[in-house]
């Protein structure tokens, strides 16, 4: 849309559309004196940036419903770049999440990853469902693998599922002793690069990605669960960095 038409629309005021959607608040930032920009992962409209007017006032109609991790049903006004939140009501309370510092830290790492992965106004209901699911799981399941498992599933959704069955370089199936996302998965002794991979951690990663998530989450915390977590964090960071680089290249052309 040209700038001129945008201005005309803004002046007419009644051209923009109202819509309803449900979303999770990923982050917020200040806008002017009493307003805030709310970044949401919605069920039907992908990542949405919307203005919540008066949200920073003491008696805001939104209360504390638009804080990071809030799960809200909203009525929004579609804008050219930023939408406007008209109404917001809580879907379910993720309060236990916010009350516990460890839950909070894990929840925030999930929000950050989704914020990096989700595209503006690009519907991705599966990502939305995964996000709601993992936030609920964090508040009920103490396993250290909840967030790492989410990261592996996120990468799979992005089409970068790691290869765990055979060496990514030579195809040898046993034993796989290293893990390197630069090559896309596990490596044998002859080809190894990246980080060392223990047999136990490999087995847990196979369980997570092979439909045995609950069994993996039942495993007690150990050096293997920590290892899986560190591979997952590195893999997601690697993927996000590569995406940011490809976006930067794209924007320079
Ligand atoms: Zn190999």
Residue 3: per-residue pLDDT:
42
CA of 166 to the centre of ligand 1 (A): 8
Residue 245: per-residue pLDDT:
78
Residue 15: per-residue pLDDT:
58
Give the C-alpha distances (Å, rounded to integers) separating 8 from 4, 50, 102, 195, 236: 6, 21, 49, 57, 43
CA of 73 to the centre of ligand 1 (A): 50
CA of 176 to the centre of ligand 1 (A): 8
Q: Which of 208, 185, 204 is nearest to 195 (CA)?
A: 185
CA of 179 to the centre of ligand 1 (A): 11
Instruction: For 71, list phi and psi in degrees, rounded to 5.
Output: -110, 110
- Collapsing DSSP to helix, strand or coil, 112 comes out as helix
CA–CA gap between residue 94 and residue 65 (Å, rounded):
11
Total-model pTM: 0.86
Tell whether the torsion through CA atoms of 49, 54, 57 and 62 is positive or negative.
negative
CA–CA gap between residue 129 and residue 22 (Å, rounded):
11
CA of 192 to the centre of ligand 1 (A): 7
Series of mean pLDDT values for 10-residue runs along the chain (253 residues): 42 70 95 92 97 86 88 94 93 76 90 94 96 92 93 94 96 94 95 96 96 94 95 93 72 52
Residues with CB under 5 A from ligand 1 (ion): 167, 169-170, 172, 188, 191
Instruction: For 177, list phi and psi in degrees, rounded to 5.
Output: -125, -5
CA of 227 to the centre of ligand 1 (A): 21
């Amino acid at each position: 849309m040209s700038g001129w038409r945008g201005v005309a629309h803004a002046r007419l005021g009644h051209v923009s559309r109202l819509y309803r959607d449900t979303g999770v608040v990923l982050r917020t930032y200040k806008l002017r004196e009493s307003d805030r920009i709310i970044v949401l992962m919605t069920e039907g409209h992908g990542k949405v940036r919307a203005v919540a007017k008066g949200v920073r006032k003491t008696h805001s109609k939104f209360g504390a419903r638009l804080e990071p991790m809030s799960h809200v049903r909203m009525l929004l006004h579609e804008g050219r770049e930023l939408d406007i939140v008209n109404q917001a009501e809580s879907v379910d309370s993720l309060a236990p999440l916010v009350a516990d510092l460890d839950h909070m830290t894990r929840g925030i790492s999930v929000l950050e990853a989704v914020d990096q992965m989700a595209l503006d106004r690009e519907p991705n209901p599966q990502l939305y469902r995964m996000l709601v699911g993992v936030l609920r799981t964090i508040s009920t399941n103490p396993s250290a693998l909840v967030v790492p498992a989410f990261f592996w599933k996120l990468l799979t959704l992005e089409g970068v599922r790691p290869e765990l069955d055979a060496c990514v370089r030579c195809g040898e199936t046993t034993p796989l002793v290293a893990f390197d996302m630069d090559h896309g998965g596990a490596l044998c002794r002859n080809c190894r690069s990246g980080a060392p991979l223990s047999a136990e951690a490999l087995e847990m990663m196979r369980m997570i990605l092979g439909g045995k998530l609950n069994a993996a989450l039942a495993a007690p915390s150990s050096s293997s669960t920590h290892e899986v977590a560190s591979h997952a964090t590195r893999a997601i960071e690697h993927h996000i960095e590569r995406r940011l680089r490809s976006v930067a290249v794209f924007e320079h052309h």
